Amino acid sequence: MYTRLLRNTLQIRNYSSNVAHNIQVQPINKILIANRGEIACRVIRTARRLGVRTVAVYSDPDEHSLHALHADEAYRVGEATSTASYLRGQRIIEIAKKSACQAIHPGYGFLSESVEFAELCQRENIIFMGPPSTAIRDMGIKSTSKAIMAKAGVPIINGYHGDDQSNDRLCAEAEKIGFPLMIKAVRGGGGKGMRIAVKKEEFLDSLNSARNESQKSFGDSSVLLERYVRSPRHVEVQVFADQYGDAVYLWERDCSVQRRHQKIIEEAPAPGLPEKLRRELGEAAVRAAKAVGYVGAGTVEFIMDKKDLSFHFMEMNTRLQVEHPITEMITDTDLVEWQIRIASGERLPLTQEQIGRKGHAFEARIYAENPRDGFLPGAGPLRYLATPQPNEFVRVETGVREGDEVSVHYDPMIAKLVVWGANRTQALNSLIARLREYHITGLETNIKFLIGLASHPEFQQENVHTGFIDEHFDTLFPAIQIKDEQICKAVAAVVLNEMQVFSSNADKNDPFNASKNKRLNYALTRNYKLKENNEVYNVNVRFIESVLLIQVNNGTWIKVKSECLADGDRLKIKANIDDTLSTFNANIDGAENGKLSFELVQPEFLNALSDQHSGIGGNKVMAPMPGVLEKVLVKPGDKVKKGDSLAVLIAMKMEHILKAPQDATIKSINCAEGENVAKDAAIVIFEDEAVE
């Protein structure tokens, strides 16, 4: 039993005060996980292996979630929104006491970097499985952390980190720093409360947006200003420290390729760094951790010049990082196990000299979002979900299953796909192959984009930096060219699905129900319309015995033979298209062909009825993604100019300002503040005639 290993008391010396004291090693046999989704499932998995019981908390939408199902016990924590559930520190403490938990694992996000929650745990004599509250405070306030880092000899970027947060002072400091510059929330991370002001005229709008988002995410609107380093690399170091003053680094990760200042693909180790530099990064990170008396898992993030490889401290995330699995893959460690052991009072499991490094690992974050529409987050049901097969070299870290809903109230990440290879090329090839095996329908995802990114020649050549997506936008988002053969596959899937449904519902004794799509004395021709990326394809299908003749946009007729293969409840199809054989998976939610998702277009009269029922015309502003309408800034009768702000939408904890596309007069507001709105819901309606 794991807890037997912890039954001893060790004499240690406090390195900062040089005063000896005792640390009682406390067996941990039950922990509460103050989080949800993927990270909660991840902690449960290690805890179960160690014989440690787990308690989950769940909000109303998460009652039937995987993390609530897999934990030994689960308790309701509140309503859907984070503030009414996973951010309720006092309620979580009550549940921990009620369930007799000795420790709380905060995961990442939510309360993981809350000074107040760490202090509350200490007052209630519950082990907080993270650093001391003083370390969270020092590293959580970026202005404080940079001063401490400078004193510890860790390189920093110059900027304004002062307490005077007036507009006048911030504008004056921005002038001194020069543009472009970075506006960053002094608390938190994950891209929240972060904006780039390219020129002076944008500064105040960017400042207000960063403040608002920071206040909502962290309860603090204070910001700092820094010189913006164009297209740097984002390199971070995993550190661990115990209660005895010892700290180690577990090598570095490169998280440079980002959108909206948030990571989407990470790798370890960072490519192209000399071995001497890797050790310098690790040693600087350890100095950073020791400077604040750190304990537990932490990540020290650096901005690195992609040309001369000089690096500067950016921030420290005082928690287990989302991308920790790639560090585990190259070091053969379980960092959650390390957290449990260190929280129990044990020493670090390995010394610095014992921490090896082997091979290369990638992590790709599977998000519900639309990359071709500015990576706007999405929400909705996972109607079809098929993942790669996990094994020793492939991990699928997720907290959802087919049929679950991606909620507007939480982060839109569906899963993390983690792969390992003997070298970077091998690992990258594995990542691409496994991404091709990942199939999701019911909502937009970034899987196809990730395949294109991982296959990009510049990414393959290790030329990564934070401006990668912008620099290679045209090649990452080429014009979509759909081949007739791909449309034939999608239509064949639709036809076979219709036949399966028909045969399962038909009266077998009725001769008129003997076979769908067959007619006596003539060949039936049916018409389908498929839409992909707003382009509609007109498809005619002629049924001749067991053969389909398919015509796309009045082109040539293509001969198709297709059949369903046994694959459980999945629709797996073998098709012969003009004497070329292929086998593919499909799901009818619309129709999916590989990494192309087609939508079956409704007849025009149904669309007209829908518009008539909703009472809306063409002059409207719609929600670009599902979310909560935070604030309406106009009222009926107001005259607005093009570019004026109309409403604020909160989706996945991010703030999105809806602006007027034209000069107009407001006719009506269709939604109320605080209301959940669907994607493409009409929020603001204009008068029919634009204002001159």
Catalytic positions = 319
Residues 6+ positions from 648 with CB-CB distance below 8 Å: 212, 629, 630, 631, 633, 655, 656, 657, 658
Identify the three-state secondary structure at position 373.
helix
Q: Is 221 left (phi over 0), alpha (psi -120 to 50) or beta?
A: alpha
Any bridge partners for residue 377, and if so which? 369
Q: What's phi and psi for 617, nearest 5 deg?
A: -110, -145
Whole-number Cα distances in Å, 646 to 622, 625, 636, 662: 11, 16, 11, 12
Q: How far apart are CA 323 and CA 422, in angstroms?
A: 19
Query: Do residues 500 and 569 make contact, with C-beta atoms less than 8 angstroms apart?
Result: no
Q: How far apart are CA 540 and CA 238, in angstroms?
A: 57
Q: Residue 560 corresponds to which amino acid?
A: V
Give Cα 563 to chain centroid, integer Å.
37
Q: How far apart are CA 67 and CA 37, in angstroms?
A: 6
Q: Which of 373, 366, 380, 376 is nearest to 413 (CA)?
A: 366
Query: Which two three-digit tokens encode residue 224?
Result: 């700092």
Q: Roughly what angle, to the nearest 10 degrees, separates helices 133-140 and 142-151?
A: 100
Q: How far apart are CA 89 and CA 120, in angstroms?
A: 8
Q: What is the CA radius of gyration of the chain?
A: 28
Burial of 610 from C-beta contacts in 10 A (0-12 / 13-18 / 19+): exposed
Element (H, E) at 427: helix 424-436
**What single-letter DSSP state applies at residue 158?**
-
Q: How far apart are CA 235 and CA 548, in angstroms?
A: 54
Query: Do residues 636 and 388 make contact, with C-beta atoms less than 8 angstroms apart?
Result: no
Percent helix, strand, coil in the chain, to 5, is 30, 30, 40
Q: Where are the beta strands (DSSP E) in 587-626?
A: 591-593, 596-600, 620-622
Q: How far apart are CA 46 and CA 684, in angstroms?
A: 49
Q: How far apart are CA 147 and CA 313, in angstroms?
A: 11
Q: Roughly what angle, to the nearest 10 degrees, separates helices 37-49 and 335-343?
A: 70
